[in-house]
Amino acid sequence: MRQKVSFPVRVDAISTTPYLLIQNQFRMNKHYFMSKIYTLTTGVFALFLAVGLQAQTSFGAFVDNNWSNPSNWTNGLPAAGNDATIGGGLTAEINQTLLIDFQVTSYGNIAVNAAVTNQGTINNFFGSIQISGTGSLTNLGTMDNRGALTIAAGATFTQSEGATFQPDGSSNITNDGSLTIFGVFNLNGTLTNNGTISANATIPNQGTVQNNGTFDLNGGQFKNTHGGAVFTNATGAGFQIKPGANFTNYGTTTNDGTTTNNGTVDNFKYIINNGLLNNNNGGVLTTSFSVVNNGTFNNNNNAELNINFTDFDNYGTFNNNFQINNAGN
């Protein structure tokens, strides 16, 4: 007769111990990694918080209007990594040489009475920048002008190659001094020139330009864009388009003074001449819409006038000394 024999095999002791060890190790590793993730996350958050906290100082005119007085700022003088904000109704006066390699956002007024160079960003949000006769502003970076920019007699505004002037809203620029432009200079609002403008730049105009002084387009392109852009050369004013420069018109261009072309003019809308218009040596004027001459129009030696299926209405004096290509009326 068979008997059931039981052996005292300690299976539980052998099998559960590795399991418990692995389980405990997993719990320890999980706790370890979770603590590391928490530490890393906390560190990154603290870093971003620190960067955010150190990146702003506001002008309050607490002592006076002097930009260079640290006591007028909530977090010390603006500098790289410490951007500046000027509130509405406040005026910050720059009375000594200043390099801007940070961001300035102004809702108030900035008075430039010394040499200022912008290598960062200046946002003029519905405030004003006033450059006095002792001041100058050189733009090597970006300017967003939605307010007023005034250049007094004797003052200079210079924009260098690679820089950008961008009005994202309606802006108002008055130049009684010297305005020198390279790079990209967008116009959206009004530009009134009573001084001198020297430009070798890309200038898209979506607003109104009134030239009462001297405007030399030495290179690049001035473009009167679609949508009602206006360019007026006033009585007594001079507008010159130099060799290599281009004036493109999709708006309304009126000449009451003297306009001289040695470059190229491409007209796709209205040109009205009430003054003296000289198409000079090397100049090419091509019209594909309407030209009305009420003054004196001289197409001089080695100049070219192209009339492409459009109207050329002469009610004044027209002198042709070289070449006319008429493909229209």
Locate 173 and state its tokens.
Answer: 């620029």
- pLDDT, position 167: 85
CA separation, residue 67 to residues 124, 126, 200, 291 (Å) = 16, 19, 33, 51
* Phi and psi angles of residue 301, each rounded to the nearest 5 degrees, phi first: -55, 135
Q: DSSP character for 76?
A: B
CA distance linking residue 61 with residue 126, whole number of Å: 19
Look at strands 208-211 and 230-233 and give their pairing.
parallel
Residue 256 scores a pLDDT above 90: yes
- Can you list the positions of beta strands (E) in 107-263? 109-112, 115-118, 121-124, 128-131, 136-139, 142-145, 148-151, 156-159, 164-165, 171-175, 178-185, 189-193, 196-205, 208-211, 214-224, 230-233, 238-241, 246-249, 252-255, 258-261
pLDDT digits (tens, 9 = 90+) for 205-246: 999 999 999 999 999 999 999 988 999 999 999 999 999 999
Which one has a higher pLDDT value, 231 or 27?
231
Residue 195 scores a pLDDT above 90: yes
Mean pLDDT over residues 114-126, rounded? Answer: 97
Confidence at 35, pLDDT banded by 50, 70, 90: low
Confidence at 46, pLDDT banded by 50, 70, 90: very low
- pLDDT, position 169: 66
CA separation, residue 315 to residues 36, 272, 274, 295, 306 (Å) = 86, 11, 10, 8, 19
Confidence at 95, pLDDT banded by 50, 70, 90: very high
Residue 117 scores a pLDDT above 90: yes
Confidence at 43, pLDDT banded by 50, 70, 90: very low
Q: Model-level pTM? A: 0.83
pLDDT digits (tens, 9 = 90+) for 173-191: 999 999 999 999 999 999 9
Rounding to the nearest 10 degrees, give the CA dihedral for residues 75, 76, 78, 83. Answer: -10
- pLDDT, position 328: 59
Residue 110 scores a pLDDT above 80: yes
pLDDT digits (tens, 9 = 90+) for 131-177: 999 999 999 999 999 999 999 999 999 999 999 999 876 799 999 99
Say which range, 47-51, 108-112, 138-142, has the weakest mean pLDDT.
47-51
Number of Cβ atoms within 10 Å of the Cβ of 275: 22
- pLDDT, position 134: 97
Locate 292 and state its tokens.
Answer: 């009305």
Mean pLDDT over residues 289-303, rounded? Answer: 98
Which one has a higher pLDDT value, 320 or 53?
320
Residue 5 scores a pLDDT above 70: no
Closest CA to 78 of 130, 113, 119: 119
Mean pLDDT over residues 264-292, rounded? Answer: 98
Type of residue numbered 290: S
Q: Give me the percent of the chain exceeding a pLDDT of 70.
A: 83
Q: Give me the percent of the chain exceeding a pLDDT of 90.
A: 79
Which one has a higher pLDDT value, 76 or 28?
76
- Do residues 266 and 249 lie in contact, with contact meaning Cβ atoms separated by under 8 Å? yes
Residue 76 scores a pLDDT above 70: yes
- For the stretch 180-216, what's the b/e string if a residue is b when 16 or more beta carbons lie within 10 angstroms of its beta carbon? bbbbbbbbbbbbbbbbbbbbbbbbbbbbbbbbbbbbb
Element (H, E) at 40: helix 11-53
- pLDDT, position 221: 99
Mean pLDDT over residues 38-61, rounded? Answer: 59
- pLDDT, position 21: 43
Closest CA to 291 of 228, 249, 320, 323: 249
